[in-house]
Chains A and B, each alone.
Chain A
Amino acid sequence: TQLLEQSPQFLSIQEGENLTVYCNSSSVFSSLQWYRQEPGEGPVLLVTVVTGGEVKKLKRLTFQFGDARKDSSLHITAAQPGDTGLYLCAGAEGGGNKLTFGTGTQLKVEL
């Protein structure tokens, strides 16, 4: 069973601070997705990375896929209260239609 470990598990910061969330595995994934989920709602897809070393930017969010396609990071610049939520990475195995979800990072951004 593939595992995706996220760190940190919990993060509470002030508005305007920067942060990085890590998603690590010993297994190789064909693609990796990042989701954000608010309480009582479904996860919302933020980005998909496919190529090793790939970097994608979404406004203040920067996503990177590791060269070996085993790990990924999410960096948020100048965090805002609207960034609060549960961040989940999820990796896809090649040839299958099943995602392995990370353990999750609960982010709280306070004024």
Chain B
Amino acid sequence: DTEVTQTPKHLVMGMTNKKSLKCEQHMGHRAMYWYKQKAKKPPELMFVYSYEKLSINESVPSRFSPECPNSSHVFLHLHTLQPEDSALYLCASCLSGTGIYEQFFGPGTRLTVL
């Protein structure tokens, strides 16, 4: 298995809803990432898990909360989001520890907040 998968592909939610995004990989990668991307802009890093521990939190609002239950899965829990949170949410993974940080991305979840 050489890919990162993300579900759902599309998500529409109201500002008071609670939803979760899921990401998984079975490449044995030990670093996993969440990014937010607006149209035609580069991805913005949100969180990094390294060996299942949260190693980077880029001052993300608390309405986004990540979870890493094991080395193959990460979740991004969403609650009371704002319309400006509408974006493409990308997950990526990386074989940490090699000194070459190639990240492999999933297809993303297109999130619309009404």
Contact mask for chain A residues 76-98; partner B; CB cutoff 8 A; 1 contact, 0 none: 00000000001010101010111
Identify the A interface with B (CB < 8 A).
30-31, 33, 35, 40-45, 48, 50, 86, 88, 90, 92, 94, 96-99, 101-104, 106
List chain A residues, Cβ under 8 A from B40. Answer: 86, 104, 106
A-contacting 9-mer, from B12-20, B43-51, B60-68: B43-51
List chain A residues, Cβ under 8 A from B104. Answer: 45
Identify the B interface with A (CB < 8 A).
4, 6, 31, 40-43, 45, 48, 50, 55-56, 88, 90, 92, 94, 96, 99-108, 110
Report the separation of the CA atoms of residues A14 and B110 in the bound assembly, to the nearest whole angstrom: 31
Q: How far is the CB of A9 from chain B (nearest CB, A)?
A: 9
Q: How far is the CB of B51 from chain A (nearest CB, A)?
A: 10
List chain A residues, Cβ under 8 A from B99. Answer: 30-31, 94
List chain A residues, Cβ under 8 A from B92. Answer: 42
Report the separation of the CA atoms of residues A48 and B100 in the bound assembly, to the nearest whole angstrom: 8
Interface-centre pick from B50, B92, B105, B110 (highest chain A CB count, 10 A): B105
Q: A97, B55: Cβ atoms under 8 Å?
A: yes
Report the separation of the CA atoms of residues A96 and B48 in the bound assembly, to the nearest whole angstrom: 11
Q: How far is the CB of A64 from chain B (nearest CB, A)?
A: 17
Q: B56, A98: Cβ atoms under 8 Å?
A: yes
List chain A residues, Cβ under 8 A from B110. Answer: 40
Q: B48, A98: Cβ atoms under 8 Å?
A: yes
